[in-house]
Amino acid sequence: MRFDILTLFPELFPAFLSAGVTRRAFEAPQGGTAQVETRLWPLRDHAEGNYRRVDDRPFGGGPGMVMLAQPLLRALDAVRADQQAAGRPATPVILFSPAGRSLTQERVRSLARSDGAVLICGRYEGIDQRVIDAKVDEEISLGDFVLSGGELPALALLDAVARLQPGVLNDAQSHEQDSFSDGLLDCPHYSRPESLAVHPALPEQPVPPVLLSGHHAEIARWRRQRQLELTARRRPDLLATARARGELTDADERFLAGLKL
């Protein structure tokens, strides 16, 4: 798969793509290609004039600036020409925007199985609406807050997609136990030491005994119940969705019925 990234700040990407465990997805083996290929398209390269201008004042007045349509359209044309020359499919165009749908693990999984996408990293007050109407297939948001641009959401999406690629994580089952992978939040996790003093005025806090028991069925039941409890307390909307999809067992429902929230 390949992600073509249209950005005013291409310098924000290289450090991320070469660091951490997910770098394995972006590194090309000798004589081969990376699992997740990326290509940066600096938008100023597609602007005209001595100043390579990419923004202007909005019609109708108001604060801020709007990204001009022409550099974006030229960059998108260049991406399509490159895809065609390389025999690649024309991948969908995604714009990161507060008006988009929230990015979910389900959408990440579908992207991880796809040919990739063209990612537009907007800036300023946004991009010319005519580009959105004509060229954008999907708008994505990270949540109900505003960032200075689409570069951070693009990095978040790349990270989420990369960690689902085979061989990227040390344990292939690791991402299967993440929050949202089965529709619920993840359970708590513990490591050494078995007993820990987190504050001088408090008694030492032990690891839950069931996790030391070696009884795999009991450990699995404990983890499932902690998932259900945490989701019920903090994200009941996820629980409602799981219930509507028929993803909760009778044992799950009995446990939830006995919770005092």
SS3 62: coil
Residue 54 has pLDDT above 50, yes or no: yes
Residues 158 and 195 in one domain: no
For residue 177, is it within any domain?
no
Q: Is 205 left (phi over 0), alpha (psi -120 to 50) or beta?
A: beta
Residues 54 and 87 in one domain: yes
For residue 168, is it within any domain?
no
Q: What is the CATH number of the domain that holds 253?
A: 1.10.1270.20
Residue 179 has pLDDT above 70, yes or no: no
Give residue 32's pLDDT. Answer: 85
For residue 179, is it within any domain?
no
Separation of alpha carbons 124 and 129, rounded Å: 13
Catalytically active residues, by annotation: 98, 125, 163, 178
Residues 155 and 190 in one domain: no
Q: Please answer whether residues 7 and 152 qualify as being in contact, where contact means their C-beta atoms are separated by less than 8 angstroms.
A: no
Single pTM value for the model? 0.83
Residues 214 and 129 in one domain: no
Q: Which of 130, 162, 194 is the last residue of a domain?
A: 162
pLDDT in tens, 112-143: 999 999 999 999 889 999 999 999 999 999 99
Q: What is the CATH number of the domain that holds 23?
A: 3.40.1280.10
Provide the number of structural domains found in the chain. Answer: 2
Residues 138 and 232 in one domain: no
Residue among 129, 158, 110 nearest 14 (CA)? 158
Residues 98 and 158 in one domain: yes
For residue 238, is it within any domain?
yes
Range of the domain at 122: 2-162
Task: Give me the DSSP letters along 103-142.
Answer: P-HHHHHHHHTSSEEEEE--BTT-B-HHHHHHH-SEEEES
pLDDT in tens, 160-178: 999 999 989 865 554 454 5
Q: Is 235 left (phi over 0), alpha (psi -120 to 50) or beta?
A: beta
